[in-house]
Every structure is written in C-alpha cells, then in structure tokens.
Amino acid sequence: MSRGLLTTTVGSFPKPDYLARARNDLSLGKISRQELAELERRATAEVVRLQEDIGLDILVDGEMERGDMVAFFAELLTESMTIGGLVRSYGNRYYRKPVITGKLHWQGPMTVEMWRYAQGLTDKPVKGILTGPYTMVDWSFDEYYGDRVRAVLDMAEVVHQEAKELDEAGAPFIQVDEPAASTRLDEMDLVSRGLTIVTQGLKAKTGTHICYGDFARAFRQIVDLPVGQLDIETANSGYDLLELFRGDRYDKELAIGVLDSHTHRVETVEEVVAGIRRGLEVAPPQRLYIDPDCGLKTRTWNEAAAKLRVMVQGVRQVRKELGID
C-alpha cells in the first residue's frame, strides 16, 4: 500500500431501504433490537462488498448502526447523556439534540464489535471512526458542567478509551471526526487539547476529518492538530483550500475530497483527475489520500456507488501517469 494516492471514504454510506424501515419499526415496537442488529450487520456486509467491488484501498463499515454521528454515542452513554427534543438545524430539517446530564465517563465498547465484524469480511484495512470530543460537546446541550472546557476534556477521556479499544482490537487507522473544529477560532486550542487526550499512546495511524467553518483563518491551528492525517473537503469549494497548503511546511498526510457529497450529480473522471492533480501540487502521492468531501449517507446507494467508481477510475489514471499503478 506504499504506491500512493490511496483511496478511501470519510465514513458514512447511505442506508438501504430495508434498514431505514427497520429503524422506524423499532421505534414503533414492531421489531426487537436484536432483529435490527441483524439487519445492520447485513447492510454492513453489503457496504464492505461494494467497496471491495469498486476497488477502494482503505474501507469503512459504513456506519449502518449509527443514525447520527453524535446521537449514536450519546444513546450509549446512558449514565451521563440523554436525547432531547427536536431541534431545527436548517431548512425543514430537524434532529434530536443530545443532552449532557451527568459526569461523562466511558461505559464500555461502542464501535469495536461492528469494526471487528467489518474487518472480518475483508483482507483490506478497515478504519475505526469516532466522533471527536469537541464536536460531541458542541452539538449537545450541557445541563451538567456549565464549563465548556471541562466538558470537552472529560468527553476526550471517553473517546480516548473507545479509541484504545479499537487500537487493541487491531484497527490500523482511527479517524476522529471534528467537523465543528473550525467554527470558533478562540477554541481551537481546546480542540487540540481534546485530540491530544484522544490519540495519546495509540499505535494506529490517526486522522481527523474537518468540514465547514472558517478553515482559512484556523489553518495554522488545524495543521498543528495532534493527528497524523488531515481529511478536508475540497471539491465543493473549487479546491481553493489547497492554496493554504502551498509552500507550507507540514509533515502530515493529507486526504482531499474530489467528490461533492452534497450533490446528486456524479462527477466525471476528468474532474476527478483534475482535482487529484491539484492535490499533487501541495503533497506527494505517498502522503496524499483521495476520498469524497464528506460522508455519503445523504446520497442514494446508486449515487454513492457511481461517484466512488469514478473516483477510483480517476486515481488509477493518475497512478498510471505517475508510474505507480
């Protein structure tokens, strides 16, 4: 896997219709939690097969058991968090915002079983994916701490313990998603302190995915975050964020999005190739990873598959041009 321009995804995949119906049926009491879990494993197997068929290098489990990247963990931290009422996010989209109700502490493995299941289905490496402590707190109501710093650092201990479990299970790469990281520039130090706790002592390669926010103004702090890889969205902004890296000295790997995860349109191979070439202007192929801008859960199954096939075709074309295929 040293050839460079390795392909992967940010994490989430669209849920099959049968799984979406099953989650609704569970809420209505029509099926058991065990029946839902069996369908989640079935969907995970389908996601792994799809990624292998497309030819991705580093796989994910697709997050079939996660309804939301924050609520999923909140629902398992039952002694210190609960799920609140509906909150409007934008347009006519609503979600149930988690609430911190007590001192945060790890209660047991939350992602390891599904990671093990997915890894057992393939010889390719499967990433472990967690939501970072800053985003967990930022996207929740705090009814216990009244101290944002203490809440984030305690949450970091929770995420660290989960990361240790993945690490000990053999996860070769652990991605800690912090999409809220660049929204408050005065708290970038807190983001870094949290990630320092999360990644301490891990043997696995570590990375973080960051999207939206004022990335340009927070660039210096983002580049210095205590992880080995930065994963950023670039396709939907015309790759302008890559200009920030031009001429900059940094030793991290860089994963760039060459697919816009927020549009139904399937990119062309030529567009993907052009995006990869932009990335190669700021990072060598051995340190450049190629993926979509964000998770694919808002796309249809066919859209996600079509986009990823184009991405892999583009990467193969560039690898051939560079003589590393």
Helix (H, G, I), strand (E, B) or coil at 68: coil
Dist CA 126 CA 57 (whole Å):
9
pLDDT recorded at residue 91: 60
Counting residues of the chain whose pLDDT is more than 70, the rounded percentage is 98
Strands 229-232 and 253-259: parallel
Query: Residue 161: inside a domain, yes or no?
Result: yes
In order, the DSSP letters of 8-41 are: ---S--PPPHHHHHHHHHHHTTSS-HHHHHHHHH
**How high does pLDDT run on average in the chain?**
94
Q: Which CATH number does the domain housing residue 155 bear?
A: 3.20.20.210
Q: pLDDT category, 195, cuts 50, 70, 90? A: very high
Residue 30 tokens, joined: 């029509």
With 70 as the cut, is the pLDDT of residue 313 above it?
yes
Does 78 fall in a domain?
Answer: no
Partner residues linked to 205 by β-bridges: 173
Tell me which residue of 320, 257, 255 sits closest to 288, measured CA to CA: 255
Is 92 within a domain?
A: no
pLDDT of amino acid 1: 47
Separation CA 205–CA 172 (nearest Å): 6
pLDDT tens track for 106-147: 999 999 999 999 999 999 999 999 999 999 999 999 999 999
One-letter-per-residue 3-state SS of 233-298: CCHHHCCHHHHHHCCCCCCCEEEEEEECCCCCCCCCHHHHHHHHHHHHCCCCHHHEEEEECCCCCC
Which DSSP symbol is given to 106? Answer: -
- What is the structure's pLDDT at 2? 55
Residue 59's beta-bridge partner residues? 126
Q: Is 154 helix (H, G, I), strand (E, B) or coil?
A: helix
Alpha-carbon span 230 to 223, nearest angstrom:
8
Residue 262 lies in a domain: yes
State which residues form the domain around 124: 6-67+112-133+145-322
Domain count, the chain: 1
214-271: per-residue pLDDT in tens? Answer: 888 888 899 999 999 999 999 998 999 999 998 777 789 999 999 999 999 999 999 9
Q: Contact, 255 vs 290, CB < 8 A? A: yes
Q: Is 140 contained in some domain?
A: no
Whether 240 maps to a domain, the answer reads yes
Q: What is the CA radius of gyration of the chain?
A: 19
DSSP class per residue in 179-232: TTTTS-GGGHHHHHHHHHHHHTT--SEEEEEE-SS-TTTTHHHHHTSSSSEEEE
Entry pTM: 0.94
Average pLDDT over residues 278-284: 95
Predicted confidence at residue 282, as pLDDT, reads 94
pLDDT in tens, 24-52: 999 899 999 999 999 999 999 999 999 99
Q: In which band, very low, low, confident or very high, does the pLDDT at 93 lie, cut at 50, 70 and 90?
A: low
pLDDT (mean) for 62-67? 95
Judged against a pLDDT cut of 80, whether residue 191 lies above it is answered with: yes
Q: By three-state DSSP, how is residue 307 classified?
A: helix
Q: How far apart are CA 55 and CA 309, in angstroms?
A: 8
Report if residue 220 sits inside a domain: yes
Answer with the residue of higher pLDDT: 10 or 27.
10
- Lowest mean per-residue pLDDT among 85-94, 109-118, 282-291: 85-94
Strand partners, 175: 129, 207
**What average pLDDT does this structure show over 263-285?**
97
The helix (H) or strand (E) run that includes residue 73 is: helix 71-76
Tokens at residue 226, please?
A: 């205590």
Q: Given this model, what pLDDT does residue 92 score?
A: 63
